[in-house]
Structure 1
Amino acid sequence: MARNHENTPSSPAPGRAGLQADCGNCFGLCCVALPFAASADFAADKPAGQPCPHLREDFRCGTHDSLRDRGYRGCTVYDCFGAGQKVSQITYRGIDWRQAPGTAAEMFAVFPVMWQLHELLWYLYEVLALPAADTLRDEIRRALDETERFTGLGPDELIALDAAGHRAKVSDLLRQASELVREDARRRYGSPQKPPKRKVGRGADLIGAKLKGADLRYANLRGAYLIAADLRDADLRFADLIGADFRDADIRGADLTGSLFLTQTQLNAARGDAATKLPPSLVRPPHWAG
């Protein structure tokens, strides 16, 4: 079957420019506010609110070029959707937690709330650009505008915000949009030609699954566990991947150009190569094979 991408944006959706991490304009918030535990992803424990020992005075990472070799793979996977620079430069007007230590605990509490809001914006801008979801356009625009407005709140208001409730509301809208887009794509391009032998679906346990070459178009893989799954040369166009766990998933040669709700974090956690086809809004991780 010819691979047609008529329903896939050819360039990043408008408004997504501010949803790309800009570490040069951030106060190292992910390196301080977030906790991590010694594991395959982190070489040591670090509690929330305590600066990573590798964080420099200029808020840059002192071991950025060797994080994976030093056992800090988790740092190379994380992406804040631009929340770090938003909190640093907009919410706190460029005054960092070292200059104003009294704001530190508050700033570290604000950061994860902003991260959630920016992640939702990433998804909302995506569906806004998909013609098959046009019937929901007004609702999507209202949700997007409301979420944008929340990102402009002050620290106290952000901390008090019912972020979980807002996320649940937006998630339902994204689910509806996903169903419309996937059904439209199925009508256009037909049923999968080589569906997997094992059952796939929302929240499915596909850890280590052998899915090489599988036709997973239109699949609902929301929250699926794809840890270490073999997805080489799989077709994931129009598959809903929101919240899917791609840690160590082998996506070499896979086609993700039309997949829904894919994020940079998911790509960073997976293993791909030069043959992996990506949406135009995401970049090929530097640690991937050639």
Structure 2
Amino acid sequence: MSNQRTPSGNTINHLSADCEQCFGLCCAALPYAKSADFAVDKAGGTPCPNLQSDFRCGIHKDLRTKGFRGCAVYECFGAGQKVSQITYAGNDWRDHPVLAQEMFKVFPIMQQLHEMLSYLDEALGLEETLPIHKDLQNALEQTEDLTRLNPRSILELNVPAHRAIVNVLLLQVSERVRAKAAPGHNKSQKMQNKIRKGTDLVGANLRGTALRGANLRGALLIASDLRDADMRVTDLIGADFRDADLSGADLTGSIFLTQAQVNSAKGDMNTKLPPSLRIPDHWSK
């Protein structure tokens, strides 16, 4: 059985958001502009007007209907609680305002590191990665070490350089996983070639398209029609699925797909997702 997550002994349990252990950092540190995803403008370092004194969101259950869809799909990969409880040892920015701006700058850097940890952890659980298991494990440990630096050292990190090192390994993972996918027919291969060349897929009609084993890294699939598409064993790292319709699509065995990406899309109960992901509540029944 290939391309299945297996217990590797390396799974890190803090790679998903635990908002109860966070000081509302995504609601305060990050900027956003009034758009289809956000009802108002907000500058970085300015708390969202919906952030309550206990660091909970006052409209959490109604984010989509209140115009804050962007908040509903955001994922920090556990960076919020790491910064709150470990980097700053439980000292929040409200009680310690002198820490606020530094904490807000550390948070997005930590989010990037935790995102890398999430991908590396997933890669370590795939049977196809056994030949490069040691390299992946070293990269994971090095990245985890970076997340435990003091705030000043974190702010001085060259994150793009470290991401480039990790990305080399993730590309190897992608090639190993996708190499075992059954070759597609001519139409499928032509479409995959176009995707590799950066074809604009925003709003594209890809309904029923055979994309098995495709490299969709960073693909712009905004509002695309992917109903009933065969997307098994695809590399979906960084693919933009905002408002894409995944109804009936088969994403079984796809790699580097996150819950945030799924949450940003449309779909239904017939959409097949990797076992680590769940059908969002807002999808059609």
Query: Kindly tell me: are residues 19 and 203 of structure 1, through their superposed partners in 2, closer, same or farther at Cα, counting changes over 3 Å?
Result: farther
Q: Distance in 2 between matches of 1:121 and 1:98?
A: 29
Report percent identity of matched pairs: 57
Q: Distance in 1 between matches of 2:197 and 2:109?
A: 25
Structure 1 position 17, deviation (Å):
2.4
Query: Kindly tell me: are residues 207 and 273 of structure 1, through their superposed partners in 2, closer, same or farther at Cα, counting changes over 3 Å?
Result: same
* Alpha carbons 2:207, 2:225 under 8 Å: kept: yes
* Alpha carbons 1:196, 1:211 under 8 Å: kept: no
User: Is the counterpart of residue 201 in structure 1 residue 193 in structure 2?
Assistant: no
Q: Which runs of 5+ in 1 are unaligned?
A: none
Say which of 57, 61, 67 aligns to 1:61: 57
User: Is the counterpart of residue 96 in structure 1 residue 92 in structure 2?
Assistant: yes
Alignment match, 2:163: 167
User: Is the counterpart of residue 191 in structure 1 residue 183 in structure 2?
Assistant: yes
Alignment match, 2:222: 227
User: Is the counterpart of residue 46 in structure 1 residue 15 in structure 2?
Assistant: no
Structure 1 position 161, deviation (Å):
0.9
Say which of 254, 259, 265 aligns to 1:259: 254
* Alpha carbons 2:258, 2:277 under 8 Å: kept: yes
Structure 1 position 264, deviation (Å):
1.3
Q: Distance in 2 between matches of 1:115 and 1:159?
A: 13
Say which of 98, 104, 124 aligns to 2:120: 124
CA RMSD of aligned residues (A): 1.7
* Alpha carbons 1:12, 1:280 under 8 Å: kept: no
Q: Distance in 2 between matches of 1:259 and 1:111?
A: 29
* Alpha carbons 2:2, 2:127 under 8 Å: kept: no
Aligned-partner SS, 1:195: helix
Structure 1: which amino acid aligns with 2:188? P
State the Cα deviation string for residues 84-106 of structure 1 (Å, max 9, x = none): 01111111111100010000001
1:16-165 equivalences in 2 (<5 Å):
16-165=12-161
Q: Distance in 1 between matches of 2:250 and 2:242?
A: 17
Structure 1 position 12, deviation (Å):
9.8
Structure 1 position 203, deviation (Å):
4.0
Structure 1 position 239, deviation (Å):
0.8
* Alpha carbons 2:6, 2:126 under 8 Å: kept: no
TM-score by length of 1: 0.93
1:209-224 equivalences in 2 (<5 Å):
209-224=204-219
State the Cα deviation string for residues 61-117 of structure 1 (Å, max 9, x = none): 001111111111101010110100111111111110001000000100110111001
User: Is the counterpart of residue 241 in structure 1 residue 236 in structure 2?
Assistant: yes
Structure 1: which amino acid aligns with 2:135? E
Q: Distance in 2 between matches of 1:197 and 1:179?
A: 18
Structure 1 position 257, deviation (Å):
2.1
TM-score by length of 2: 0.94
Structure 2: which amino acid aligns with 1:195? S
Structure 1 position 228, deviation (Å):
0.6
Q: Distance in 1 between matches of 2:7 and 2:213?
A: 21
Q: Distance in 1 between matches of 2:223 and 2:231?
A: 16
Structure 1: which amino acid aligns with 2:230? D
